[in-house]
Structure 1
Amino acid sequence: MDESELHRFRSLIEARLAALDEENALGRDGQGVVQLDQQSVGRLSRMDALQNQAMAKATQARRDAEARRLTAALARMDEGEYGYCEDCGEEIARGRLELDPAATRCISCATG
């Protein structure tokens, strides 16, 4: 992989990390404590609020995992190991990296 491709993938990863940060900022409100207020919120509304809170937390966990994968990809770039399969050492197809720039395995190793 040449320097221009590495730069392009680094830009793509950094853009995805920035988008995740924006999504995190928007999702913080949904993760807050659900207050018990029997006067304004009925039992079913509270259950709905608790379910929405649980979904917001699960979404946050997925975003955190994606951010860790992307950060690890940047570290592999710095080490000169980006774009190579961690199992067999072969180059990962560019198309695969376009779809998932944090991919660590080639399609052959990923499918078993």
Structure 2
Amino acid sequence: MNERRQARFRELIQSRLAEIEREDALGEAGQATVELDQQAVGRLSRMDALQSQAMAKAQAARRQIERTRLTAALARMAEDEYGYCEDCGEPIAAARLELDPATTRCIGCASG
């Protein structure tokens, strides 16, 4: 992979990492502990709040997984292994990397 293309993917990865950080900041309030205050919040409202909290925590977990994948992609770039399939060693198509810059497998190996 040439330097220009690798710089493009590095920029894409860093942009996605920054987006994840912004989403984390927005999602923190949704993960807060739901207080048990029957006077202020009814039973159904509290159930809704608990469900919203669970969804916010699940979204945070998905963002953490994506952050880990993107950070690993940056590490592969530093080792000059980025853009090559971890199974067969062949180059991964640029269009596939555009869709998911953290992918580690070519379409042939990914589809089985």
Q: State the TM-score, normalized to the length of structure 1.
A: 0.99
- The aligned residue for residue 72 of structure 1 is 72
Whole-angstrom CA distance in 2 between matches of 1:109 and 1:52: 38
- The aligned residue for residue 41 of structure 1 is 41
Q: Displacement, 1:40?
A: 1.1
Q: Displacement, 1:80?
A: 0.2
What is the aligned-residue identity percentage? 70
Q: State the TM-score, normalized to the length of structure 2.
A: 0.99
3-state secondary structure, aligned to 1:109: helix
Q: Displacement, 1:47?
A: 0.4
Whole-angstrom CA distance in 2 between matches of 1:110 and 1:3: 26
* Cα deviation digits, residues 44-88 of structure 1 (max 9, x gap): 000000000000000000000000000000000000000000000
- Cα RMSD for the two superposed structures: 0.3
Whole-angstrom CA distance in 1 between matches of 2:95 and 2:5: 12
Q: Aligned partner of 1:107: which letter?
A: I
After TM superposition, the runs of 4+ consecutive aligned structure 1 residues lying more than 3 A away are none
Q: Aligned partner of 1:35: which letter?
A: E
1:91 aligns with 2:100: no
**Aligned residue pairs, count:** 112
Structure 1 segments unaligned to the other structure (5+ residues): none
Whole-angstrom CA distance in 1 between matches of 2:89 and 2:2: 17
- The aligned residue for residue 111 of structure 1 is 111
- The aligned residue for residue 60 of structure 1 is 60
